[in-house]
């Protein structure tokens, strides 16, 4: 693949020839993903490296997340292991903005997007810190810590809170689901 990213307009006509890997959490993936995409959450990428190498040897890999940030991280991880892949610029959000449909499995339980989960958790912790700060002034440090974490997240384009939230049960793949995905990539 000549570049490390593809726009939605470049990727859409090639979707049938690309192996699409969605690196969002299983809950986000169930909420809607590119047609034919395989779900390998970013935090489980290392486990899938051998299968991804096999898939990359057969054809081009396209990594996808909600906005393109996590998929760019995943491309960096794969590049570090000698596996070539591109990221979808704008992610599934960009895909939908251009009017393309996402595949939603019938009966799938959907979780909120990770960004929305982070906003809820951060906002809740700030409010709790401020409310408790009326009784115990030191509790305001919770709010200050969250604010500092959000600034650090913006400056580094990483999110520690998202990493923690990704470990919650509704955001974790069932072992058999990941095993089946890995097997399908090597078949």
**Are the C-beta atoms of residues 30 and 110 closer than 8 Å to each other?**
yes
User: Could you tell me which residue, 132 or 157, shows the higher pLDDT?
Assistant: 132
Same domain as 102, residue 18: yes
Helices 49-58 and 175-186, packing angle to 10 deg: 30
Same domain as 94, residue 23: yes
- For 27-67, what is each residue's pLDDT tens digit? 888 888 999 999 999 989 999 999 999 999 999 999 999 99
Same domain as 69, residue 27: yes
Same domain as 126, residue 148: yes
CA distance 75 to 90: 14
**Are the C-beta atoms of residues 165 and 122 closer than 8 Å to each other?**
no
Confidence of residue 123 (pLDDT cuts 50, 70, 90): very high
Same domain as 102, residue 132: no
- Domain tally, the chain: 2
CA distance 115 to 171: 13
User: Could you tell me which residue, 48 or 154, shows the higher pLDDT?
Assistant: 48
Same domain as 93, residue 124: no
Same domain as 134, residue 103: no
Percent of the chain with pLDDT over 70: 93
* Count of other CB atoms within 10 angstroms of residue 97: 10
Same domain as 27, residue 98: yes
Helices 140-156 and 114-133, packing angle to 10 deg: 150
> Which domain CATH number covers 35?
3.40.250.10
Residues near 131 by beta carbon (within 8 Å), at least 6 away in sequence: none
Q: What is the residue range of 28's domain?
A: 5-110+173-186
**Are the C-beta atoms of residues 161 and 122 closer than 8 Å to each other?**
yes
Q: How far is CA 61 from the centre of its chain?
A: 16
Q: What angle do CA 93, 32, 8 make, to 5 degrees?
A: 40
Answer whether residue 109 shows pLDDT above 80.
Answer: no
* Average pLDDT across the chain, whole number: 89
DSSP structural state of residue 81: T
Please report the pLDDT score of residue 2 as a whole number: 41
Same domain as 32, residue 103: yes
Same domain as 74, residue 31: yes
Same domain as 120, residue 67: no
Which of 9-23, 86-100, 153-167 is least confident?
153-167
Same domain as 79, residue 10: yes
């Amino acid at each position: 693949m000549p570049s490390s990213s593809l726009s939605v307009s470049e990727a859409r006509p090639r979707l049938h020839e690309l192996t699409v890997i969605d690196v969002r959490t299983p809950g986000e993936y169930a909420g809607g993903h590119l047609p034919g995409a395989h779900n390998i959450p970013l935090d489980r990428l290392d486990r899938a490296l051998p299968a991804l190498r096999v898939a990359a040897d057969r054809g081009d890999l396209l990594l996808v997340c909600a906005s393109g940030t996590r998929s760019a991280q995943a491309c960096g991880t794969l590049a570090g292991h000698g596996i070539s892949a591109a990221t979808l610029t704008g992610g599934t959000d960009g895909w939908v903005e251009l009017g393309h449909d996402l595949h939603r499995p019938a009966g799938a339980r959907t979780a909120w997007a990770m960004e929305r989960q982070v906003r809820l958790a951060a906002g809740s912790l700030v409010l709790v810190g401020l409310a408790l700060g009326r009784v115990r002034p030191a509790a305001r440090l919770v709010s200050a810590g969250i604010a500092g974490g959000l600034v650090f997240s913006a400056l580094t384009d990483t999110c520690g809170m998202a990493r923690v939230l990704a470990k919650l049960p509704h955001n974790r793949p069932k072992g058999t689901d990941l095993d089946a995905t890995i097997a399908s990539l090597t078949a």
